Amino acid sequence: MGIAAIDAGGKNTKFYDGKQLIMFPSAIGINELERNLKSEHAQFEYEWEYEGKKGFAGTLAEESEYAESRRDDSKAHFDAILRILIALHQFGEGISFNIVVGQPIETHNETEKIAIKTMLQRRHDLTINGKAKTIIINRCEVTPEGATAGLLTVEQGLVRIIDIGSGSVNYGTLKNRKFLNKGSFTFTEGMESKTNLNIEAFARQIGTKAINKKWGKEDVVYLCGGGAEVILPYLKAEFFPNGQLLAADPLYSNVKAFFMIARKLYG
């Protein structure tokens, strides 16, 4: 039985099974047309067939004017499920899996979690680049993005996490490594939500929303996600002088924390 963590983000999908730490573009294209697309990065160039649909994904999708990367405040949709299945098809060992995936804090509720589990916990038949594979997901647990990444810290007491993604920003609050709903929320805009992103102005939005939710200036604040490194200097200067990156490479913080949970849940 394989154990894996998948962070199916709007820009990139991250996969981790304790041995392989892999990232590929999340863009998905769906059509019935003959394609003559070629990517410079063949490792993540995918043509797929699944449940009567076919299309393209990964670096191949980035070359098409028809492909999109769906970014919203839920992962209970076809694109997110397909990203997870592509990760398991390409990088998972065997065909049977127990997995942990993420959901934005704002929509991390029973209704959304049940929807994701219902979509995933079953047999899937997926073909990628002509290779057919059966994938059986026995168990799936859904954990809050951003807040879960706080498990990577050894801090006790009150800890704040800001997870800055392409389509949303998750604000997580933990106390003694336990998730608190109070002080945890989602801002449904991200690094790729703006037409012309102004880093300083966006950082001010991020910081202001935290202060408005009663986060304190002296709080211990960790940043993760794809936007963490560029946003951090502005947050430190104006809002949180104790702010720091959650890890040397904050892009993988969520998926590494997801795997910690998977290992504890599934052994």
Task: Check which CATH number belongs to the domain holding 70 and give it.
Answer: 3.30.420.40
Mean pLDDT, residues 167-180 = 94
pLDDT-derived band at 175 (thresholds 50, 70, 90) equals very high
- Indicate whether 138 and 156 sit together in one domain: no
Number of domains the chain contains: 2
Q: How does pLDDT run across 94-132, given as a tens digit for each residue?
A: 999 999 999 999 888 999 999 999 999 999 999 999 999
Instruction: Please tell me whether residues 45 and 141 are part of one structural domain.
Output: yes
Can you give the pLDDT at residue 35? Answer: 54
Same domain, residue pair 232 and 185 = yes
Query: Which pLDDT score, from 0 to 100, does residue 59 have?
Result: 81
**Rounded mean pLDDT of 217-237?**
97
Question: Which pLDDT score is estimated for 195?
Answer: 87
Q: Is the pLDDT of residue 187 over 90?
A: yes
DSSP assignment letter at 129: T
- The predicted-structure confidence for 6-35, as pLDDT tens digits, reads as follows 999 888 999 999 999 999 999 888 775 455
Same domain, 138 and 43: yes
Tell me, what amino acid is at 238?
E
Contacts 24+ apart (CB under 8 A), 31-40: 31/55, 31/66, 35/64, 37/63, 37/64, 38/63, 39/63
The answer to which of 12-16, 82-86, 101-105, 255-259 has the lowest mean pLDDT is 101-105
Question: 93 is in which domain, residue-wise?
Answer: 2-145+254-266
Examine the domain organization and report whether 177 and 262 are in the same domain.
no
Burial degree of 193 (CB within 10 A; 0-12, 13-18, 19+): middle
What is the pLDDT of the chain when averaged over all its residues? 90
Say yes or no: 88 and 216 in one domain. Answer: no
Residues 47, 21, single domain; the answer is yes
* Average pLDDT over every residue of 149-160: 92
31 with 100, same domain: the answer is yes
Query: Is the confidence at residue 252, as pLDDT, over 60?
Result: yes
- Is residue 97 within 8 A of residue 83, CB to CB? The reply is no
19/73 same-domain check: yes
Give 154's pLDDT tier (boundaries 50, 70, 90). Answer: confident
Domain check: are 94 and 127 in the same one?
A: yes
Tell me how far CA of residue 191 lies from CA of 75, 162, 199, 202, in angstroms. 18, 13, 9, 8
221 and 162 assigned to the same domain? yes
Are 188 and 211 in contact by the 8 Å Cβ rule? The answer is: no
Q: How confident is the model at residue 67 (pLDDT cuts 50, 70, 90)?
A: very low
User: Same domain, yes or no, for 232 and 134?
Assistant: no
Residue 220 CA to residue 159 CA, distance in Å, equals 5
